[in-house]
Amino acid sequence: MSKNIRMAANQHPQKPDEVLKHLMESVFEKAKKESGKDTAYGLSKYLNDVFEDSIDERSLTRYYNGYLLGRDSERTHPDEYVQNTLSSYVGFDNFQAFEKAFYVANENLEVKRELRTTKQKLKRIKIMGTSFSLLFLVLAIVFISKYYTKNCMIWVEDHYEKIRCSGLDNETELNEVVLKNFKKVEVCKDSFFFENGKARIHYIRHDNTIDFFTSSGEHPILKGKFTNPITQTIIESRVKDCDSI
């Protein structure tokens, strides 16, 4: 964790609860998109099936009520296994990786607030000085814009997001084409797989599972693994029927 991130964590003692709250929100939001459910019971039952009973339905319901609905009496602290399992579900190697991404995202929000405040102050300045003062102002704006340029990106759940480079494990150099076109998707047999004879969907198999993406490229988490264009054989053998999803 970078120096700035450690400082932010020390300045906000409630951060661990905020991280867990954000994790729960991410998990249940993804489950809602996948399942179409919108109740604590429905979402918890769906996730219980996804995790193959490794996290019981009752605990999942308490996480929903405690962290999403703010019911303190039901807010329980998940153990390390649950934290890592939920983090993996939303696209991270483990909870530590999710936590790092959370702090970086918060740091970027702080930067945006600082920039917004700076711009508002600059608007109130009545320029009356000489060419030197004007030059100083221009140089200050150029410095700020360069310092806060987002020239890296990081994988968040099912897509890349721009960030300021800070040395995170899953951080990679900004590529505007990949940022725009490379996304993880859920597919079924009725999905639109080909266009003009070319594959629109690409896949990577790992650990007895398969991930589908909207373009070719390297797996965002599993470095060194690259996608392959989908084939009819993969569709028939590994893609689920739409009515089973």
- What pLDDT digit, counting tens, does each position of 89-100 carry? 999 999 999 999
pTM for the full predicted model: 0.41
Q: Where does a domain end: 26, 55, 89?
A: 89
Average pLDDT over residues 75-96: 94
Query: In this structure, are 122 and 76 located in the same domain?
Result: no
Please state the φ and ψ torsions of residue 7, each to the nearest 5 degrees: -65, -40
Its sign, for the CA torsion 167, 170, 175, 176, is negative
Query: In this structure, are 143 and 159 located in the same domain?
Result: yes
Owning domain of residue 130: 95-176
Q: Where does a domain end: 157, 176, 195?
A: 176
Query: In this structure, are 28 and 83 located in the same domain?
Result: yes
Radius of gyration over alpha carbons of the chain, in Å? 22
Query: In this structure, are 161 and 206 located in the same domain?
Result: no
Strands (E), 137-188: 152-156, 159-163, 172-173, 184-185
The span from the CA of 100 to the CA of 107, in Å, is: 11
The span from the CA of 5 to the CA of 162, in Å, is: 17
Query: In this structure, are 201 and 133 located in the same domain?
Result: no
Tens-digit pLDDT profile for residues 135-146 = 777 776 766 665
pLDDT > 60? residue 13: no
Query: In this structure, are 135 and 190 located in the same domain?
Result: no
pLDDT > 50? residue 5: no
